[in-house]
Amino acid sequence: MAKINNEFRQIFAGMAPQAIINRDELAALLATTVGAVTQMAYRGELPPTAFPAKRRACWFVGDIREWLDDAAARRRKDDVVAHESAQKPRVGRPRLPASGAI
């Protein structure tokens, strides 16, 4: 299965922005299951489908690329915020050292 995922990722990299991918292909790209992609779409975690009036879920490659770029940017921003918050002093009463001596 990993070989199929890697092959589709290479194909995805060369696709035109107006090309369309379905749930199976998006699942292969995200290394998850088709059911997980369906749940992500239901929860609104994915970009809107290419043809909202149709029952079959498919997405434009350009929309998926933008969504992946935005997700990566949010993650980098969250990592920076988490790193900055880790450097702040702790709130509350000071704890005793591990040796128990004051």
47-71 pLDDT, tens digit per residue, is 999 998 888 899 999 999 999 999 9
Cα–Cα distance measured from residue 35 to residue 39, given in angstroms and rounded to the nearest whole number: 6
Please check the confidence at residue 86 and state whether its pLDDT lies above 70.
no
Q: Provide the pLDDT for residue 99.
A: 75
Four-way CATH pick for 2-86: 1.10.10, 3.40.50, 3.40.109, 2.60.98: 1.10.10
pTM score: 0.69
State which amino acid sits at residue 59. Answer: W
Averaged pLDDT for residues 78-90 = 63
CB 72 within 8 A of CB 30: no
